[in-house]
Amino acid sequence: MGEPLSYSLFFIEASPYFPKGALVELTDIGECFLPDRGDGQPDKLDRTTLKRCPPFAENVPPGQCPVHVTSIDPIFGDEKDVAVDQTSHWQVIIVPIPDSAAPLSAVAVTDRLREFETERFESPSVEIIDGREVYRLHIAWLRPGFYSAKFEFADGSVAAITFIKLFPKHFSDRFSELPEPAGTDIPHVPIPAQPNAPLGRSDIFSDKLLNTALELTTEWGENFCKPIHERIRRTYPTLTDAEIDELTKLSREAESYIYRLAEQELAGSFSEDQIVPEARRKFNWLSLDNASRLKNIGMFYARK
């Protein structure tokens, strides 16, 4: 086996695809593979056109990285039909689902540079916007990089989109003027591949807010399955309708995931003591109380 690849940040000094000084992550040595040249197609870069970015300690806020959709499968329409919804709280790619398509069974997001699956959404929920089914792909937690999202349908058909998350412009502007370290031992900071990242990261909404929304969304009694807008505004009066809708969606995803684990436990493919740890691995904002409560509800429903 060959040596594992390592990765560093580079400024692109000359490219027909990117503006001068664009900051991207690429392999350190060997042939320089560019996963997406801006139209979804891969290419190769001449290393003489790259300038290594000096290491820096500043955190890159993933939710502030500009998103560019670079290609879409024709079944989704054309480029104007796929929209990016971006606020200070979330980044979402809105993908229309054609009327002729079979039910959506899964969506898989892949890091095209490292060639590994960063996230997989089983039995994803679609929404109706302006009378049309759409899927809202949440990507705020993804680091800058080159990605594809594969949509798998119940009849076995597959369609995909590709997109790039760029570094915020102030990173490129600030660090492109720094001198590259001299000498043969050019220091670099390899950036490790991320493991499967959890949904609903606290850099989108706070953990406390997410758990409050989950408690209200899954409340029993007279508020069972009722909208949470009025109730959550008693504690968080500045939340907009769109933000509350997003919180409700994230809550339903966590609730559904725990209920599916409970069904797997009943089927014998998952043990009861694994449910809460697995749910909290998947949704790292999930409190122990909420996870345990929903596990008990899920096991009750699974046995009915």
Q: What is the pLDDT of residues 219-256, one digit of tens each?
A: 887 787 789 999 999 988 888 888 898 898 889 889 88
The terminus-to-terminus CA distance of the chain in angstroms comes to 52
H helices then E strands: how many in the chain?
6, 14
pLDDT tens sequence across 166-181: 888 777 776 555 555 4
| CA distances, 1 to each of 4, 53, 116, 193 (Å) | 9, 29, 18, 19
- The DSSP output letter for 74 is G
As a whole number, mean pLDDT of residues 33-61 equals 84
Q: Where in the chain are the domains?
A: 7-59+169-175, 62-165, 207-302
Read off the tokens for 71.
């290609």
**Percentage of residues of the chain with pLDDT beyond 70:** 86
Q: How confident is the model at residue 184, as a pLDDT?
A: 38
Q: How high is the mean pLDDT of the chain?
A: 82
- Would you place residue 202 in the very low, low, confident or very high pLDDT band (cuts 50, 70, 90)? very low
- The DSSP output letter for 203 is T
CA distance 101 to 153: 7
* pLDDT over 70 (residue 1): no
pLDDT tens sequence across 62-121: 778 889 999 999 999 877 889 998 876 678 899 999 989 999 999 999 999 988 888 888
Q: How confident is the model at residue 102, as a pLDDT?
A: 93
* pLDDT over 80 (residue 31): no
- Would you place residue 282 in the very low, low, confident or very high pLDDT band (cuts 50, 70, 90)? confident
How many CB atoms neighbour CB 247 within 10 A? 27
* pLDDT over 60 (residue 157): yes
Please state whether the predicted TM-score (pTM) of the whole model is above 0.85.
no
Helix, strand or coil for residue 154? coil
Helix, strand or coil for residue 191? coil
**Percentage of residues of the chain with pLDDT beyond 90:** 26
CA distance 198 to 283: 5
Residue type, 146: F
* pLDDT over 70 (residue 12): yes
* pLDDT over 60 (residue 191): no
For the domain bounded by 62-165, which CATH number is listed? 2.60.40.3080
